[in-house]
Structure 1
Amino acid sequence: MSHGPINFGGIGDIDMYPDQTGALMRRLEAAGVAFGSQLPTLLQTINRGEQEANTGFDTLSKNFRLNYNASANQLKTLTGNVQPMLVRIATEGIRVVAEYVQHAENEAATMRRV
């Protein structure tokens, strides 16, 4: 069901555009799922590149390698958290949009009875 803008109390700015907000939450969820499904392949590609990389020719590449290696394990941990975090945020956002719409519908019903 399509829902127009919600403006509780009819004063001030629009509080939410539920259709657009819900669509953005679904896109965020899809991005998280896509990231998670592609991550194993991307990590394999990165690992292959690591094996083939021949750095150490200059100060810049040596410094980059030292800094990269120092944070490589942390980066792997963080990238593994991206999908669940995005999906969790999106799921909560979708829930909030539905709850907001329900509150708006309840308020509209109450106003009609008054």
Structure 2
Amino acid sequence: MAAPGPIRAGGVGDIVMYPMETNAAMVQLSEAGKAFGDAWRTIGPLLAADEAKVGTGFDELSSKFRTAYNDIGTKLKELAGEIEPNIKAMGANGNQIVQQKVQLSQQQAAYLRQIV
């Protein structure tokens, strides 16, 4: 990363960013998405297999639970499948923001050197 220290322009409302640390955090965020996706690919089929084994009708409470679970189960599986790409996209967007902030800081520093 080009700027090891904090970036601050000195004005009110500036965002102080530590590019190296922020970039590392965005990489960790992306990795968390991959970790979730890897875990879901492992446990998703196991969960589906266990669900296939379980019937309903043990008692009134289990029947009500199973009905409610079945109503949301499909949506939960769909959403779980979207977590990895969404979190990876957040990390990628964060890294892009860090790069843009560094570039803007460098442009601003170059401009200030010209006018001073």
User: Who is 2:11 aligned against?
Assistant: 11
1:14 Cα shift?
5.5
Distance in 2, matches of 1:89 and 1:45, equals 28
Q: TM-score, normalised by structure 2?
A: 0.82
On the 8 A contact 1:5/1:14 being kept in 2, the answer is no
Q: TM-score, normalised by structure 1?
A: 0.83
1:94 aligns to what SS in structure 2? helix
Q: Using a 3 Å threshold, how does the CA distance of structure 1 residues 17 and 60 change in structure 2: closer, same or farther?
A: farther
What are the Cα deviations for residues 50-76 of structure 1, in whole angstroms up to 9, with x where unaligned?
Answer: 244466444443322111100111111
Identity of aligned residues (%): 37
Q: Which runs of 5+ in 2 are unaligned?
A: none
Q: Which runs of 5+ in 1 are unaligned?
A: none
- The one-letter amino acid paired with 1:49 is D
Distance in 2, matches of 1:18 and 1:61, equals 52
Task: Give the root-mean-square deviation of aligned CA atoms.
Answer: 2.0
- The one-letter amino acid paired with 1:34 is A
User: Who is 1:82 aligned against?
Assistant: 83
Q: Using a 3 Å threshold, how does the CA distance of structure 1 residues 108 and 44 change in structure 2: closer, same or farther?
A: same
